[in-house]
Structure 1
Amino acid sequence: MDDELVLNIAEDASVGPTKLASKKSGRWTDRLKAKRVQKRKTDQPDHHPGSDDDDHPRPAKRMRPDIPPPATKAPAMDRPALPARPPTQIISSLFSYNPQVEAPIPSAVQKAPSKPSNAPLTGSATFADLGLHPLLVAHLQSKMSITKPTSIQRAALPIFTKPSSEDTSARDVFIQSQTGSGKTMAFLLPIIQDLLPLSTHSYIDRSIGTLAIIIAPTRELAKQISDVLEALLTLRLRPDGEQENTESSTRYTRWLVSGLLSGGATRAHEKARLRKGVPILVSTPGRLLDHLQNTSSFNVGKCRWLVLDEADRLMELGFEDTIKGIVQGLDGRRKLAFQAVQDGKTFEVGGWDWDRERRTILCSATIREDVQKLAGTTLRRPLIIKGLDKENAEDSPASKNDNEPATTSTEKFTPPSQLSQKYIIVPLKMRLVALVALLRSLLAQTQGQKGSKIIVFLSCTDSVDFHWRLLGDSSMDGEKAGHAESDEDGADSNADESVEEEKVEEENKIAARSPLLPGASIFRLHGSLPTPIRLASLRGFSAIPSSKSKKPAPASSILLCTSVASRGLDLPLVRAVIQYDLPTEGGATEYVHRVGRTARAGKGGEAWSIVAPSESEWVKWVGGKMKGDITGENSDSDKVNITLEGTSIENVLAKGFGGKGSEYEARATEVQLSFERWILRRKENAELARRAFTSHMRAYATHPSNEKHIFHVRHLHIGHLAKAFALREAPKTITDGKNKISSASKGRGSRPTKPTKHDVGDAEQRMQDVVRAQGRLSRKGGKMISSGTDEFQIPSGAALNSLVHGY
């Protein structure tokens, strides 16, 4: 019987031994059970003192002598009201419990503005002097306002227009130059120069097929090249002032048209265009190989030119096998076409120079090992052409750049010399408000310049979508946010329907606006967006305000993007580039490609990098990678060290939010709270933030092993990082649908668990373990080789298991 369970019996003479005295007592489970039983008795309405249930009352506890007796319990009417229960989520301060950040030391020497390293030449060199066709020269000057060539154009064009020998004209070309130096024109102008004389033959039209193919790694870059090509092909086919019916004039037919294959149209529509004939084709690798294999009407037997633009990016994205397939497909189609001519199975009028072989141009900003490998398989006795830095350099670099790309090059890739590079060391929990403050200060500096643009690079697609939604949908109106919070529990079916409608509208929305960034339109760009939205976002961001346009362009534009926008894109009027997340792959090369979106063609620009306290060593590391690459103006032997200028977080917040003294702290806190209220407004918002946080952690874990001493998950305070995603606490578990991973943070300052022996290893070893477990490795020559499967294509959660263990 429960009434006989008595514990903690006082040794009193008045109390005799009981039946339970001999039993083992003092266990905490028994004490808790006794308390519950006693509480049930006192709570029963029919229980009265002195009844039969009080035969065995619980003895009073002996008080410790050092503890004063408790005060007499006041009646309920006289007791003050208890305070409200504290919230379940703790709102931590932005400016407390942050790691100590050393203030950047300002440079004692005032740095003089550097001479632009990628500007058009200012000397006497012109396009006409480089052997360019007079019609092209006139078109560049009158329609495109281009009068002077850049250094890489001056070095490359004579190789194609004025070859020194027949041997030189038959060799392939490797073009290496800085970003924004005009590499696109360096290969487009020679192609048009070569095909333009064919327009004098009346028997040549579009049915001749594709004579030039340009391959770009991304859809955005392919569209940009196609736009430049279309602008060049609108040239006048007779000199200005020349009469049409003049017998002595050379007559050209307008048959040169361009086409684009990038996945934006259906295959049937693309096949119809290819069947009609596209003399100059711009394409992404995958779609081009698809048509080479499956479209029989794709006539490429007479192809004269093949251009591989941004070859280093093509290799990074894993297109090596695709490029090999394209080259083999072009060779096979050429053999079939030539065999048909020999067998008399073709009805073409006129002859064709079948002895002339296809010429390949490979463009890359770096000569890395993978690019050297690609050059070795696709180029024949290549000429390396590099941009000339000085006016008095020789016009023809072929004589001194006649090295094979297979040789190791020690030259490093540098950003434009006129680019201003800065960094901010920001505590993790202050990253979000630091980004807003930096954007506000940059927009304030460009109020007088219409059409100024800012690019923000983030680590992953989920992070881009989250920040785009957050900036475009959050409000500083506290009443609105509070109302949304109070209605969360009482949402009805109408609210659910409105949420679904807003979700559909949000997916089709191109630009967003934020009250924190007045006058600016916010766009997003990443590889997971549908092609129409990607192109519309890029078109909207690139729009230049004009009084003639029917649709007015925004005064300022902000583009949130991944590294998909880091290569080759020539976006006009880019004022600054912000690296909110430092590159996870590519190292210093990827950094220079990103900052190369600004300071193009001799114009100025700023590059900002937001660095975590644990990543402060990255500043010296990336500076060392670019150290001593720019030659000083005073002496040929002097080298100018490239350094990043530091700015304190307090200075950025004060400029962005204003106020006197430390008033910016209160304003930054209010901005952070408005973002957190937006997260609490809807479950969809919180899910979006959690997904962005998880994807960011995955991306952070993919830093290569030689950067792990700087970028390591174990160096991060997970709770503080969650606040950068407007989350008041880090997600308890990270899951990939099946496999759950232990909590990343279970309290302030917690760290991931220590990795086990099975978990220790670099990324390559982990990749082999994962693929071996799924049977995707084959035994060849006694060595395990990879099948080319990327780590993030593995459907299991093994890649995620490395997240909290710091890989």
Structure 2
Amino acid sequence: MSDTLVLNLALEEGPSTRREHTKKGGRWTDRLKSKRIEKRKVRTQTKTNSADERPSKRPRQHTDRPSVTSHSLPQAHPKPRQSTQIISSLFSSNPKVEQKSTGSVPHAPSKPSNAPLTDSSSFTGLGLNTLIATHLTTKMNILKPTSIQCASLSTLLSQGASSRDAFIQAQTGSGKTLSYLLPILHDLLPLSTNSYIDRSIGTLAIIISPTRELAKQISDVLDVLLKLRLRPLDAAPDDEENNETRLTRWLVSGLLTGGATRAHEKARLRKGIPILVATPGRLLDHLQKTSSFGVSKCRWLVLDEADRLMELGFADTIKGILACLEGSRKLALQAVEGGQSTEVRGWDWSVRRRTILCSATMREDVQVLAGDALRNPIIIKTTEVDLPGPATDATKGAAADPKFTPPSQLLQKYIVVPLKLRLVALIALLRSLLSQSGGRGSFKIIVFLTCTDSVDFHWRLLGGTTLENDGNRESGSDQAAPGEDDSIEVHSPLLPDTSIFRLHGSLPPATRHSSLRAFSSSPKAPEVGRAASVLLCTSVAARGLDLPRVRAVVQYDLPTEGGATEYVHRVGRTARAGRGGQAWTIVAPSEEPWVEWVQARMASGTTEGGTAHSLEAVAVEQIMQAGFGGKGKEYEDRATEVQMAFERWCLQGKENVEMARKAFASHLRAYATHPSDEKHIFHIRHLHLGHLAKSFALREAPGTISGHGGKSQGAAGGKRQARRLRRRSGDKGGDDEGKGEGGLDVERRMNMAVRNQGRLVKKGGAMVSSGLWEFQVASGDALERLVNKT
């Protein structure tokens, strides 16, 4: 009896075996259903009891995606209940990189190829005006001309070649700006002896630049030149001979780059600007709409960086400017010959306008522009001056020698970096370069990125990240809060004693000029303030800018257009005028064939010092060790801490995440715009989107690659977007500001449609073509009818 009681108690403590929810009666289908439910419950309870008796499994070892330890997470934020993100390790699942060199072999010294001449050449000996030569040596500290300046002055100042145009082709950083400014000033300065010459004479020289930054730089150099002394230093005040030939200070310079009020620009043009520096669009606008803009006596026209002008699509604008200048001169000349001119007599109309075209390369579109703009040109090179006959022979002679190389004293190196490590490798490289200064004066570094969104993101990221786990929300709030686009400078604890600036085409003009001026200016002493400067920029800073004391150039993103030419222009921001410099390029493992590709397109052979134009490989581990320090593999832990600090900043707010996603999307769209001859190297199918997202401080690839935010669609959505980009990767479109594919084609088609409508006229009740060009001012019979009407 007792056994039976015990058995009953045991049964009550264990799983219940009584039949519950059983039906008595009813349809037979209900009874069968209740039996199946009862059997299912019994099987589930049996499996649970057997699982409790089974020993627990050991946790699986995740080698590719290890979990993050607690000390790397911020202590101020509680642990989420269920996190769907997997924080991958930086140093796992990376492609194996075969190291070709460790970078320990020192670079052989080379003789500078763009330094001033060391022979007996001088500005005075080349025939330059004594007042200008004295100003160069005493006020600007320029004692000797460079090779391109020597060739340009000896040709442009000679009387025999006064009626011929010129094509100047020179190496970057060789002083090309002075090679055309000095002849212009030499020609216009003696006009001061005429009594009727003053600012009201109009514009006598026009210099066209592709970008606002380059135009501002040319204008600054011109302003310094125009401050020259107008009397010899040894002239006495009572010297009658010198008083009779005393020059008047009527030569002033002006700048037209847009961004300013047109009314203010028109008022300055009405007063008269003898030497004008302008961008193409703004210049054509005033030529067509400002009646007080007098260019009929223009004697000099300079097209600086002609290859960049063609790349930016200014071909039709340049044609319009040339047509306006020719039409204005013809109208004024016919008015003078007909006795209808109200101008002061005495101007020598027999002197024709000289056009100078400056370009580092002689591509096909530049040759077409040279054929349209130049007449019987002289080709001026660094080492020789060719004097061909017709213009076609000149362009063929330049095209036969397409070599375009960086300065020979420039140290060129590259690093093959896995996509995961791009961001921390950039920080390590900047830290190692800044450590080379040793507190001795200023140290400036330029970092080139692909698109404007990437520049803004990295600028905000460096300015807002700290290494502390707590207090991140307050870091950087006083220097660069999201949305404050008027800020020009941020500082980062990762780069101590360093000011960080940004520059791209979407910034307001005032911010662009302020950033460039602050970066170019001499920094404060180390004990007072910042001793180094870093400029994050797009390709807008790759052409023509002469930024002083730039010690290194880092190409974080390879150029999407221009190929080897754009690479040489970028690295040419350092090692200028005979000084030394370093050029570093960060290359992904799939992009390593680009190194041999770009070397083959640069001039092969060696320089006088015996150094070939080649890029030297440096291991990423060596850069990490130099940038983060530590013993052995300790740099991996420090790099992980830096990466986690970036990711914590990205997770602080919705604005930071959206900025990172937008930069990631813009980078992918820009990557898809590489030309077809580079698709075997740069293709989206070669990129691991998850690893690439890690370099933008994201823990997973965004599902939508639109750059406008929105909810993530997961990995499947990201793959679909990647496939779309791959299909579009063969199309041409987009620009360095991150526009989508095909956008420029749509705008171009719309512009052509509008232009075609503007060419139509009504004849006989129907709209027919007028046969006139949209930029045509006056020619032939139309010009004569216009003159007769006036």
Q: Distance in 2 between matches of 1:728 and 1:440?
A: 25
**For 1:431 and 1:700, how far apart are their aligned partners in 2?**
16
Distance, in Å, in 1 between the alignment partners of 2:230 and 2:171 is 33
Aligned residue number for residue 453 of structure 1: 444
Tell me the residue number matched to 1:763: 732
Q: d(CA) in 2 for partners of 1:458 and 1:386?
A: 32
The answer to whether 1:276 aligns with 2:271 is yes
Which among 468, 492, 497 is matched to residue 514 of structure 1? Answer: 492
SS in structure 1 at match of 2:50: coil
SS at match of 1:327: helix
In 2, Cα distance between equivalents of 1:697 and 1:461? 13
SS at match of 1:234: coil
Cα deviation per residue 1:334-361 (whole Å; 9 max; x = unaligned)? Answer: 1222233233333333411111111000
Indicate the residue corresponding to 1:92 in structure 2: 88
Cα distance change, pair 143–397 in 1 and its aligned pair in 2 (3 A): farther
Partner of 2:679: 708
User: Are the equivalent residues in 2 in contact too, given 1:174–1:362 (CA < 8 A)?
Assistant: yes
Matched, 1:214 2:190: no
Say if 1:20 and 1:500 are closer, same or farther in 2 by CA, change over 3 A: farther
Structure 1's 671 and 371: CA in aligned 2 closer, same or farther, altered over 3 A?
same
What are the equivalent positions in structure 2 for 1:535-684 lying under 5 Å apart?
535-545=513-523, 554-628=530-604, 630-632=606-608, 641-684=612-655
Distance in 1 of aligned mates of 2:462 and 2:608: 43
- CA-CA distance at 1:63 after TM superposition: 7.9
Which whole-Å CA distance do the structure 1 matches of 2:612 and 2:480 have between them?
A: 55
Does 2:364 correspond to 1:369? yes
The one-letter code matched in structure 1 to 2:333 is F
Shift of 1:553: 7.4
Q: Which amino acid aligns with 1:212?
A: A
* Matches of 2:298 and 2:456, distance apart in 1: 41
CA contact (8 A) 1:734 1:743 kept: no
Amino acid at match of 2:732: A
- For 1:466, the aligned partner's letter is F
Partner residue of 1:534 out of 501, 509, 512: 512
Q: In 2 relative to 1, CA 59–626 (structure 1 residues): closer, same or farther, beyond 3 Å?
A: closer
How big is the alpha-carbon RMSD for the aligned residues of Structure 1 and Structure 2?
Answer: 3.6
- The residue aligned with 1:803 is none
Change (3 A) 1:15 1:103: farther
* 1:691 partnered with 2:686: no
2:140 to 137, 144, 160: 144
Relative to 1, partners in 2 of residues 1:726 and 1:769: Cα closer, same or farther, differing over 3 Å?
closer
Q: 1:365 to 1:57 in 2, by over 3 A?
A: same
Q: What are the superposed Cα offsets for residues 563-592 of structure 1, whole Å, 9 maximum, x if unpaired? A: 000000000000100000000000000000
SS at match of 1:690: helix
Instruction: Specify whether residues 764 and 470 from structure 1 end up closer, same or farther in structure 2 by C-alpha distance, changes over 3 A only.
Output: closer
Task: Give, as a single letter, the amino acid of the residue that structure 1 aligns with 2:501.
Answer: F
The match for 1:380 is 375
In 2: Cα distance, 1:607 partner to 1:568 partner: 17
- Distance in 2 (CA, whole Å) between partners of 1:757 and 1:270 is 47
Provide closer, same or farther for how the CA distance between residues 552 and 211 of structure 1 changes in structure 2, counting only shifts above 3 A. farther
SS of 2:395's equivalent in the other structure is: coil
Match of 1:31 in 2: none
Alpha-carbon deviations, 1:132-158, whole Å to 9, x = none?
A: 011111110000011111010111111
CA distance in structure 1 between the partners assigned to 2:516 and 2:722 by the alignment: 43
CA deviation map 1:684-721 (0-9, x unaligned): 11111111111111110100011000000110000111
Q: Is the 8 A contact 2:498 2:533 kept in 1?
A: yes
Distance 1:758 1:112 in 2: 45
- Tell me whether 1:266 sits opposite 2:261 in the alignment: yes
Residue 733 (structure 1) shift: 1.1
Q: CA deviation at 1:769?
A: 12
Q: Decide whether aligned partners of structure 1 residues 567 and 72 sit closer, same or farther in structure 2, where only a CA change above 3 A counts.
A: same
The equivalent of 1:43 in structure 2 is: none
Counterpart contact for 1:383–1:401, Cα < 8 Å: no
Say yes or no: does 1:128 pair with 2:124. yes
Please give the alpha-carbon distance, in whole angstroms, between the structure 2 residues aligned to 1:558 and 1:773.
36
The match for 2:220 is: 227
Letter of the structure 2 residue corresponding to residue 433 of structure 1: V
Contact 1:191–1:305 under 8 Å retained in 2: yes
CA separation in 2, counterparts of 1:64 and 1:685? 50
> What whole-Å deviation, never above 9, does each CA across 1:536-566 have from its counterpart, x for those lacking one?
000000011478xxx9874111000000000
Tell me the distance in 1 between the aligned counterparts of 2:449 and 2:175.
Answer: 27
Alignment of 1:21-100 (within 5 A): 57=38, 59-62=40-43, 69-71=50-52, 85-100=81-96
How big is the shift at 1:501?
10
Q: How much has 1:88 moved relative to structure 2?
A: 2.6
Q: 1:366 to 1:87 in 2, by over 3 A?
A: same
Partner of 2:109: 113
Tell me, yes or no, if structure 1 residue 719 matches structure 2 residue 690. yes
Instruction: Give the share of equivalent positions with the same residue, in percent.
Output: 60
Cα–Cα, structure 1 residues 757 and 644, in superposed 2: closer, same or farther, change >3 Å? closer
Correspondence for 1:190 = 183
Q: Which residue is equivalent to 1:42?
A: none
Q: Which secondary structure state, in structure 2, belongs to the residue aligned with residue 681 of structure 1? A: coil
Q: CA deviation at 1:741?
A: 12
How far did 1:645 drift? 0.6
TM-score by length of 2: 0.82
Q: 1:756 to 1:337 in 2, by over 3 A?
A: closer
Deviation of 1:16 (Å): 11
SS of equivalent to 2:502: strand
Match of 2:468 in 1: 477
- For residue 101 of structure 1, give the secondary structure of its aligned residue in structure 2: coil
Read off the aligned partner of 2:582 and give its amino acid letter.
E
* Residue 410 of structure 1: how far off its partner (Å): 4.0
User: What secondary structure does 1:434 align onto?
Assistant: helix
Report the equivalent of 2:99. 103
Summarize the Cα distance change of 1:305–1:22 in structure 2 as closer, same or farther, 3 Å threshold.
farther
Could you say if the C-alpha distance between residues 129 and 16 of structure 1 is closer, same or farther in structure 2, counting changes exceeding 3 Å?
A: farther
Change over 3 Å in CA distance of 1:129–1:744 after alignment to 2: farther
The answer as to 2:204 corresponding to 1:204 is no
- 1:325 is paired with a residue whose SS is helix
Total equivalences in the alignment: 698
Shift of 1:502: 4.0
Q: Conserved in 2, the CA contact under 8 Å of 1:734 and 1:742?
A: no
Contact 1:718 1:745 in 2 (8 A): no
- The letter for the 2-side match of 1:643 is S
Distance (Å, rounded) in 1 between the aligned partners of 2:617 and 2:389 = 40
TM superposition shift of 1:730: 1.2
Counterparts in 2 of 1:586 and 1:16: CA distance versus 1, 3 Å: farther
TM-score (structure 1 length as normaliser): 0.80
